[in-house]
Amino acid sequence: MSPKHRHVSANDITMHCTEQGEGPLVLLLHGFPETSYSWRHQLQPLAEAGYRVVAPDQRGYGSTDCPEGVDNYTILHLVGDVVGLIHALGEKHAVVVGHDWGAAIAWHTALLRPDIVRGVAGVSVPPMPRGPVPPMSDARERFGEDFYQVYFQQPQAAEAELAKDIPTTFRKVLAGTPTGEGSFLGRFAVPESLPGWLTEADLATFTGQFATTGFTGGLNWYRNLDRNWELTAAWQDAPIVPPALYVIGEHDFVRSVCPPDMLENPALVPDLRAVVDVPDSGHWTQQERPAEVNKALLDFLNGL
């Protein structure tokens, strides 16, 4: 049994998916700047455990369509892609798992369409309650104009920086040591050697994918953060009701931005089954510590 690749029409776009196994559907949603390749260590273990595992390249990434225009990347488009994909795969329900931005999409899919989500798991990024002010205003006040999400709002600035030398971009972002100074990439030092979890072949795969698509699609997700706040007003204070799991690495930088203790509010995710801290892991959790992440996911899936 090996992964197969297919293209699926969903929500008026064509999505590339990597699929393996048979059984209840589990969707794996990647983050930024990644593709479905970031879930390469999860496909076989979950498939061998009796699940149909599908990892799509999301809107604007990899071999999936990249519509033009920032307004084609709102949270409603991205959740719509997940809902459309579940139905296009011939299923009525799925467990939705996401990492980084993919976690935000997974949480929002569970929030907006709990009728089709059997369970939801977020890796790295916890569910974020809708705040009292637009998120970019909050980010500027808390972290300043140099905060990466604020920087990403500038048209073409981040594209130019990230695409100037794509192999170095991924070497820095995935394996670099934070320095805390300079532009976005300037805040990372080029590693002298790659960590054990990341190979030159892995870097070449990501480099090739983004050399083809560029970075605009993924950056457009960030450029809709304030618009998403406006679009989700009707769900203010609404709970995420499907069974849920949260997984975060011990050294993940997200801890300083979104403290895990926000999940101590039971009104936010009333059926939170577990919070799993992954030791000796940074932000790229399912790539860095696949055995621990796979165990957490399978414990959760088998308990549904």
DSSP string, 240-267: --S-EEEEEETT-THHHHS-GGGGG-TT
Could you give the percent of the chain with pLDDT greater than 70?
98
| Domains by residue range for the chain, with CATH | 4-302 (3.40.50.1820)
Q: Is the pLDDT of residue 261 over 80?
A: no
Please count the other Cβ atoms lying within 10 Å of the Cβ belonging to residue 171: 20
- Minimal CA–CA distance to 91: which of 48, 121, 64, 52? 52
Task: Report pLDDT digits (tens) over 241-260.
Answer: 999 999 999 999 999 887 66
The 8-class DSSP code of residue 68 comes to: S
Considering the candidates 16, 30, 99, 283, report the single residue annotated as catalytic: 283
Average pLDDT over residues 195-200: 97
Q: 81, 100, 202, 252: which is the annotated catalytic residue?
A: 100
93 has catalytic annotation: no
The candidate with the shortest Cα–Cα distance to 251, out of 282, 220, 225, 279, is 282
Q: What is the pLDDT of residue 179?
A: 79
Would the pLDDT of 59 be above 80?
Answer: yes
Mean pLDDT of 188-211: 96
CB atoms within 10 A of CB 257: 14
Predicted TM-score (pTM) of the model is: 0.97
* Residue environment code for 259-268, b if the CB has 16+ CB neighbours within 10 A, otherwise e: eeeebeeeeb
- Residue 100 is among the residues annotated as catalytic for this protein: yes
pLDDT in tens, 110-129: 999 999 999 999 999 999 99
Amino acid at 107: W
Instruction: Please spell the DSSP secondary structure of 201-244, one letter per residue.
Output: HHHHHHHHHHHHH-SHHHHHHHTTHHHHHHHTGGGTT----S-E
CA angle 238, 239, 243 (to 5 degrees): 155
How many Å apart are CA 101 and CA 33, to the nearest integer? 9
